[in-house]
């Protein structure tokens, strides 16, 4: 039966503002209704074009490409209206892409990108225009009763588009819809313009209307039930079937027929499968291929002359490998790609922008190595080119390049300048409504109270990527809430409908596109109104689908850390350090690894990785490569790690599967660890080419069953030809099939192992400069800074307080083994203030007093709040130790400094006509003569400014009385972390208990943060003078202790230390919290009062009166008297026993004759 109706203006979820239609579901519905074509006209963009095109063509549906765009009518009071365009052919696509790009780049009006009518006059060829019902200019004129003007506007459209302009009508029961439609029918007949029926589909089914309204309100920041909210959409704007549309428009069949006619006229299709590379400038007289071949050969010759060959290889091996790679690159048409990448990488290196040694499979290319794209010799590390570029499977090469985080944008600017700003862009990415976020969004627009919504959101587990459906299965509380609470049920039902919907657009972390001509010739451009840079409107997958070349410019913080550390070293070192030339067998590095001192070492710093290092004890760079590959969920859970470790230490014999595979598997003790090993096994045992082996590797990794079945026969047959029995061949295939899913890209592992080694080398040889650089990189992350400072102290490096005369913006090395605190890490101290201070200090010398400081700096930049932060953080301690006096005198000092500056500016002179120049270090008024802050107040002031305690810890003042209760300090608890995960036999038991190898501990510490997770669990961060640790409470322990979970209180925690199975963190699962008084009362059985007085009568009276104040208890009283070297002890009778408390200790120490209180 011929088609009766085609949807022409569907909005998908990529409209972001007004649709919940997901493309896969839409295609499924269209196919079910046997609709042969359909058009998406997303609002002001073409984000979904490629996804829609691929999904539709795969389902046998003709995709009609288009967009609904806003137009600013500058000739009629800046009226804004919508018009929908559909592409008839390639020229139409190019024009629509150009129009949307122009709207984003030069058409913003009232925060939205809009076209101008003059642009439409210029770029309309190959486009069909549809009037967009009451949203369009004709519709608005009709509703404003301007029929003559509407007729004139139709004439304008006809003059531009001739027979390519259509008036659209819809019957979705909008207000004024009938009036609009009747007018359109009249105008169509009067102006000889075709009518087209639409349904303005915005959701799949009529039952989705409420969820759609919530989606609209989320985007616009409105409340669904707000009576003032404009109701723009109708319940009838769903994806109707042809039959439903025939019923709606039975009286106007030509409006339906015209949808089919338009679909026939639209014949644009993407030419997929072709790649478009920008041209790289080639010397005259050579082709690109000739230049590439010559250049790479010359570069290899230079390399070999300087460095020689790796062990086991000769120069012929290198030249043969180079020829093999060059031939494939030329055959596949990618020499320009390598030249472009080499150009911007080498430009970066020349401009001292740190570049990573490689990332991903690119390190397997010798061509990349000699062109200095990567820093690893692939022959030395047995890396495979076919893993990077497979001659048997056409796909773009993909170099992921790491740059210094701070200077990555400079490289992008260079590329834009080199190839043209309109040819280079970064890539768009899309954020979706995740489980917790969608619950909060929906709760907000439904108008539910925040505490209720927050409570529901907190019931969702914190697992990465968790869905609401999974959360409802895993959380019995969440499910119970949904089933028993009507409001919660409504919220969660709607959230389930919206979860995963596109919520916003953003910028991809590293993707950059370089087009051979202006980017809009290939895809539309997105640009934020307030941003300079442009983005492709297609995401990273879609730009590659249409043949554009994507380059990944990734910012890696570690490269910045390494570069800053090296710069600091080279400022003082006698010889210049080149981090790329350090030996890879340094004894200090492996000694550091053996001790598991890998905090801040790239890739090796997590607690779990430290465990693995402690078990494996790497003694070569190859084993650092293995570490990076082993520390992943697959190998850890499969037993691969255990096998590797046991075989390395000789406690188990390696299984090489077959004698021909010994050379392949010997470096990893029989474990199939790398993807490259899977490929080599297929080559050695079954006669695969490495290209075919890469296809096998990929099929195994992705579990493509159909391909796997075919490959098993090929593998077994090939192995049999090599005299391997069918049974053994099948077994080996099964083994590599199992481990291929866990196999890691060795090229990537080797490249990241090199960065790991470099950071370990810096930590081992230049710990001060390295840790100062790490602290500077993490100065905004207080929790990380606390952890790093603990490591600094463990390395016997002194951490100096901020110092107005020594500190710079960032942390830096001080005298000897010390680090000076960076001023940029202080709260309330901005960059402009620090810059002003440092400039003044550099130009005119160190500050001599706080008054001198205030006179010399710009007090508009270094304001009162800045000064307070500096004082409380200890930055003026070197000039005046009493922080309390500085705080109290600060305002008067500021006034005096301002007055002095005013006097100097006004040119006041003394009696001799000379300018009065009193030293600014002379304090015009004395500082208040008051006591400094008490120790704890001083420490908490530091914590407020720095995020942590600096010159001490509040617990040290009471530690001597808590030792009777505690079993560990926090650092010794952390050292208890087990060096091995559970075996597969006790995995289930492990998951049920949530912990393994739990050890009872009692710690004392200060509660630095409290996070109530849901109605019956909480997580605290407890810190002492040694480190900090997470402490969790569940169910009964939570309810019994929640009243004691008070921030900044010192408490005692009794619990079990172990590894949390879900987060892999080493934490304490608490049994109870004790306050100071409770801990002393519980654990103290003896109290000793020490005195050296000679006035025994007064001492006895004081002690007697003190003991009267406190009730009877179990603690015995002891008196220790020391005089002239003679010590005497007295134990009082049981009738003197008391209930001990912290208050008793404080009161006792206030007595003139009591020197010390000792608890036992």
Beta strand 999-1014 pairing with 1050-1059: antiparallel
Distance CA 914, CA 937 (A): 47
User: In this model, does residue 986 exceed pLDDT 50?
Assistant: no
Q: How confident is the model at residue 1 (pLDDT cuts 50, 70, 90)?
A: very low
**pLDDT reported for residue 908:** 57
Q: How far is CA 799 from CA 813, 828, 944, 974, 1077, in A?
A: 10, 21, 18, 22, 33
Q: Residue 593: pLDDT above 90?
A: yes
Q: What does the alpha-carbon distance between residue 979 and residue 614 come to, in Å, rounded to a whole number?
A: 7
- Helix pair 726-740, 675-686: axis angle to 10 deg: 160
In the predicted model, what is the mean pLDDT of residues 580-608? 94
Kind of pairing between the strands at 400-404 and 195-198: unpaired
Q: At what angle do helices 767-777 and 557-572 cross, to 10 degrees?
A: 140
Per-residue confidence (pLDDT) for residue 787, from 0 to 100: 87
Q: What is the pLDDT of residue 1129?
A: 79
pLDDT in tens, 79-88: 999 999 999 9
Confidence of residue 990 (pLDDT cuts 50, 70, 90): very low
Same domain, 854 and 974: no
**Tokens 């019931």, residue located:** 459
Q: What band does 476 get if pLDDT is binned at 50, 70 and 90?
A: confident
Same domain? For 675 and 788 the reply is no
DSSP string computed for 366-402: HHHHHTTS--S-TTTTT--GGGTS-TTS------EEE
Contacts of 878 (CB under 8 A, 6+ apart): 803, 804, 805, 806
Q: Give the pLDDT mean for 1103-1110.
A: 78
CA 335 remoteness from chain centre: 34
What is the separation, in whole angstroms, between the first and last Cα of the chain? 95
Supply the pLDDT for residue 870: 96
User: Is the per-residue pLDDT at 1039 higher than 90?
Assistant: no
DSSP 8-state class, residue 536: E
At 819 the three-state DSSP class reads strand
Q: What pLDDT is stored for residue 94 in this prediction?
A: 97
- For residues 991-995, average pLDDT: 41
Mean pLDDT is lowest, of 316-320, 441-445, 996-1000, for 996-1000
- Both tokens of 166, joined, read 């259509």
pLDDT of residue 987: 41
For the chain, the domain total comes to 7
Q: How many residues does the chain have?
A: 1160
Residue 78 included in any domain: yes
CATH code where residue 494 lies: 1.10.10.1600
* Least confident piece of the model among 407-411, 673-677, 1132-1136: 1132-1136
State the pLDDT at residue 139.
96
- The reply to whether 109 and 251 lie within a common domain is yes
Residues 337, 396: Cα–Cα separation, whole Å: 9
Confidence band for 1014, pLDDT divided at 50, 70 and 90: low
Does residue 458 lie in a domain region? Answer: yes
pLDDT, position 1062: 64
Top-confidence residue, 1152 or 437: 437
pLDDT at residue 200, as a whole number: 95
pLDDT digits (tens, 9 = 90+) for 178-229: 999 999 999 999 999 999 999 999 999 999 999 999 999 999 999 999 988 9
| Rounded alpha-carbon distances, angstroms, from residue 534 to 48, 103, 105, 340 | 18, 12, 8, 20
Angle at 620 between CA 617 and CA 625, to 5 degrees: 90
Asked if residue 19 is part of any domain, the answer here is no
Position 611 pLDDT exceeds 60: yes
Averaged confidence pLDDT in the chain: 90
Reduced to 3 states (helix: H, G, I; strand: E, B; else coil), residue 510 is strand
Number of Cβ within 10 Å of residue 28's Cβ equals 14
Q: Are 452 and 483 contained in the same domain?
A: yes
For residue 989, pLDDT over 50 is answered with no
Which tens digits make up the pLDDT trace of 532-553? Answer: 889 999 999 999 999 998 898 9
Q: Are residues 397 and 323 in the same domain?
A: yes
Mapped onto helix, strand or coil, the DSSP state of residue 654 is: coil
pLDDT at 996: 42
Of 911, 946, 981, which residue sits at a domain end? 946
- Asked if residue 1066 has pLDDT above 90, the reply is no
* CA angle, 288 then 292 then 297, to 5°: 155
CA dihedral of 788, 561, 514, 376, whole degrees rounded to 10: -110
What are the helix (H) ranges across 632-674? Answer: 633-638, 640-648, 662-665
Q: Residue 168 forms beta bridges with which residues?
A: 196
Between residues 738 and 144, the one the model is more confident about: 144
pLDDT at 1119 over 50: yes
Which spans in 741-780 are helix H?
A: 746-765, 767-777
Q: What is the pLDDT of residues 784-832, one digit of tens each?
A: 898 899 899 989 999 999 999 999 999 999 998 999 999 999 999 999 9
Domain check: are 354 and 417 in the same one?
yes
In a domain, 608, yes or no: no
Q: Would 798 be classed as within a structural domain? A: yes
| Ramachandran assignment for 354, one of left (phi > 0), alpha (psi -120 to 50 degrees), beta (any other) | beta
Max Cα-Cα span within the chain: 122
Query: Do 161 and 252 fall into the same domain?
Result: yes
DSSP state of 259: H
Query: 368: domain range?
Result: 288-429+507-558
Does 737 share its domain with 784? no
CA distance to 476, 480, 768, 836, per residue, from 495 (Å): 18, 16, 51, 51
Sequence-distant (6+) residues with CB within 8 A of 843 are: none
If asked whether residues 341 and 450 sit together in one domain, one would say no
pLDDT in tens, 905-945: 776 544 444 444 445 556 778 899 999 999 989 999 999 99
Query: In this structure, what DSSP letter does residue 1093 have?
Result: -
CATH code for position 1014: 2.40.50.140
| pLDDT: which is higher, 1103 or 10 | 10
pLDDT at 988 over 50: no
Same domain, 1022 and 1033: yes
- Residue 336 shares a structural domain with residue 390: yes
Residues 6+ away with beta carbon under 8 Å from 80: 70, 71, 72, 73, 109, 110, 114
**pLDDT(99) > 90:** yes
Residues above pLDDT 70, as percent of the chain: 96
Q: What DSSP element (H or E) covers 178? A: helix 177-191
Mean pLDDT of 486-492: 92
Q: pLDDT-based confidence at 503, cuts 50/70/90? A: very high
Q: What is the pLDDT of residue 1016?
A: 78
Q: Looking at residue 1160, what is its pLDDT?
A: 80
Q: Is the pLDDT of residue 708 over 90?
A: no
The reported pLDDT for the residue numbered 914 is 41
The verdict on 452 and 375 lying in the same domain is no
Nearest CA-CA partner of 97 in 542, 526, 514: 526
> Do residues 505 and 17 lie in contact, with contact meaning Cβ atoms separated by under 8 Å?
no
């Amino acid at each position: 039966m011929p088609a009766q109706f085609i949807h022409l203006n569907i909005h998908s979820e990529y409209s972001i503002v007004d649709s919940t239609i997901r493309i896969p579901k839409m295609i499924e519905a269209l196919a079910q209704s046997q609709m042969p074509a359909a058009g998406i006209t997303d609002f002001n963009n073409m984000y979904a074009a490629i996804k829609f095109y691929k999904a539709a063509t795969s389902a046998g549906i003709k995709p009609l490409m288009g967009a609904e765009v806003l137009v600013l009518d500058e000739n009629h009071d800046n009226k804004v209206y919508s018009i929908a365009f559909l592409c008839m052919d390639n020229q139409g696509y190019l024009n629509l892409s150009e129009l949307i790009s122009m709207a984003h780049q030069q058409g913003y009006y009232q925060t939205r990108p809009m076209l101008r009518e003059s642009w439409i006059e210029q770029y309309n060829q190959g486009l069909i225009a549809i009037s967009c019902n009451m949203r369009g200019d004709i519709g608005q004129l009709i509703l404003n009763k301007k029929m003559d003007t509407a007729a004139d506007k139709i004439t304008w459209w006809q003059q531009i588009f001739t027979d390519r302009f259509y008036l659209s009508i819809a019957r979705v029961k909008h207000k004024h819809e009938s009036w609009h439609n009747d007018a359109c029918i009249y105008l169509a007949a009067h102006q000889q313009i075709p009518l087209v029926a639409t349904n303005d589909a915005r959701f799949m089914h009529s039952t989705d209307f409420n969820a759609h309204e919530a989606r609209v309100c989320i985007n616009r920041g409105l409340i669904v039930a707000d009576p003032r909210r404009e109701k723009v959409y109708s319940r009838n704007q769903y994806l109707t079937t042809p039959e439903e549309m025939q019923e709606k428009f039975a009286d106007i069949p030509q409006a339906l027929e015209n949808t089919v006619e338009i679909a026939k006229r639209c014949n644009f299709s993407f030419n997929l499968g072709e790649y478009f590379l920008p041209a790289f400038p080639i010397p005259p007289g050579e082709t690109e291929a000739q230049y590439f071949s010559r250049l790479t050969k010359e570069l290899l010759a230079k390399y070999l002359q300087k460095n020689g060959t790796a062990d086991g290889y000769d120069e012929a091996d290198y030249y043969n490998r180079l020829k093999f790679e060059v031939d494939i690159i030329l055959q596949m048409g990618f020499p320009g790609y390598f030249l472009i990448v080499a150009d911007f990488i080498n430009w970066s290196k020349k401009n001292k922008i740190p570049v990573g040694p490689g990332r991903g499979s690119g390190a397997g290319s010798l061509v990349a190595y000699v062109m200095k794209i990567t820093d690893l010799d692939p022959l030395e590390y047995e890396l495979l080119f076919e893993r990077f570029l497979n001659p048997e499977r056409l796909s773009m090469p993909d170099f992921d390049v790491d740059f210094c985080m701070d200077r990555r944008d400079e490289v992008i600017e260079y590329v834009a300048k080199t190839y043209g700003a309109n040819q280079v862009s970064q890539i768009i990415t899309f954020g979706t409504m995740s489980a917790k976020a969608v619950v909060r969004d929906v709760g907000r627009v439904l108008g539910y109270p925040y505490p209720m919504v927050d409570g529901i959101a907190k019931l969702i587990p914190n697992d990465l990527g968790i869905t609401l459906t999974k959360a409802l299965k895993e959380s019995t509380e969440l499910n119970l809430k949904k089933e028993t609470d009507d409001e919660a049920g409504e919220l969660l039902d709607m959230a389930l409908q919206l979860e995963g919907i596109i919520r916003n657009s953003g910028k991809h972390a590293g993707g950059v596109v370089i087009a051979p001509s202006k980017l809009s010739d290939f895809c539309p451009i997105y640009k934020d109104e307030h941003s300079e840079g442009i983005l492709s409107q297609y995401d990273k997958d879609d730009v590659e689908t249409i043949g554009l070349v994507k380059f990944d410019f990734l910012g890696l913080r570690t490269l910045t850390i390494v570069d800053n550390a090296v710069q600091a070293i080279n400022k003082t070192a006698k010889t210049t350090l080149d981090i790329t030339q350090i030996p890879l067998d340094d004894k200090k590095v492996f000694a550091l690894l053996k001790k598991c001192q890998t905090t801040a070492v790239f890739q090796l710093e997590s607690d779990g990785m430290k465990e693995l290092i402690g078990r494996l004890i790497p003694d070569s760079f190859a084993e650092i490569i293995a570490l990076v590959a082993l520390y992943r969920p697959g190998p850890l859970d499969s037993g691969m790690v255990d096998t590797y470790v046991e075989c390395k230490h000789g406690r188990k014999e390696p299984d090489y599967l077959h004698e021909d595979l010994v050379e392949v598997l010997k470096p990893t003790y029989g474990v199939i660890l790398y993807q490259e090993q899977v490929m080599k096994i297929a080559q050695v045992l079954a006669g695969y080419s490495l290209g075919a082996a890469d296809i096998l590797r990929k099929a195994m990794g992705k579990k493509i069953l159909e391909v796997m079945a075919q490959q098993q026969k090929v593998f077994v047959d090939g192995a049999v030809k090599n005299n391997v029995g069918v049974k053994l061949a099948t077994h080996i295939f099964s083994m590599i099939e199992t481990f291929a899913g866990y196999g890691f890209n060795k090229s990537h592992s080797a490249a990241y192992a090199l960065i790991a080694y470099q950071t370990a080398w810096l930590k081992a040889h230049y710990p001060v400069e390295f840790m100062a650089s790490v602290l500077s990189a993490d100065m905004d992350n207080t929790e990380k800074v606390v952890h790093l400072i603990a490591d600094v102290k463990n390395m016997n490096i002194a951490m100096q307080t901020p110092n107005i005369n020594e500190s710079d913006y960032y942390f830096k090395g001080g005298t000897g083994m010390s680090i000076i605190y960076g001023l940029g890490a202080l709260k309330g101290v901005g960059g402009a203030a620090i810059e002003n201070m440092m400039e003044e200090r550099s130009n005119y010398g160190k500050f001599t007093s706080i008054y001198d400081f205030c006179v010399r700096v710009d007090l508009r930049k270094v304001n009162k709040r800045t000064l307070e932060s500096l004082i409380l953080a200890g930055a003026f301690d070197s000039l005046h130790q009493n922080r309390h006096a500085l705080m109290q005198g600060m305002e008067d000092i500021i006034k005096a400094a301002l007055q002095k500056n005013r006097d100097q500016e006004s040119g006041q002179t003394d009696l001799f006509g000379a300018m009065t120049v009193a030293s600014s270090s002379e304090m015009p008024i004395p500082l208040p003569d008051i006591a400094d802050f008490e120790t704890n107040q001083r420490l908490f002031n530091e914590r407020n400014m720095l995020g942590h305690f600096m010159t001490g810890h509040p617990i040290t003042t009471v530690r001597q009385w808590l030792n009777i209760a505690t079993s560990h300090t926090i650092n010794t608890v952390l050292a208890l972390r087990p060096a091995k995960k559970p075996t597969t036999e006790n995995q289930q038991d492990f998951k049920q208990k949530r912990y393994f190898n739990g050890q009872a501990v009692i710690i004392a510490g200060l509660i630095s943060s409290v996070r109530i997770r849901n109605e019956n669990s909480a997580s605290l961060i407890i810190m002492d003078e040694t480190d900090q640790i997470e402490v969790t409470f569940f169910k009964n322990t939570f309810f019994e202790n929640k009243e004691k979970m008070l921030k900044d209180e010192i408490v005692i925690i009794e619990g079990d230390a172990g590894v949390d199975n879900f987060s892999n963190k080493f934490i304490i699962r608490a049994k109870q919290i004790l306050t100071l008084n409770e801990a002393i009362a519980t654990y103290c059985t003896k109290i000793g009062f020490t005195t050296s007085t000679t006035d025994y009568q007064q001492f006895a009276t004081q002690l007697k009166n003190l003991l009267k104040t406190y009730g009877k208890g179990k603690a015995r009283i002891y008196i220790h008297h020391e005089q002239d070297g003679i010590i005497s002890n007295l134990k009082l009778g049981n009738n003197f026993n008391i209930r001990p408390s912290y208050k008793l200790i404080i009161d006792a120490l206030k007595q003139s004759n009591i020197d010390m209180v000792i608890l036992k």
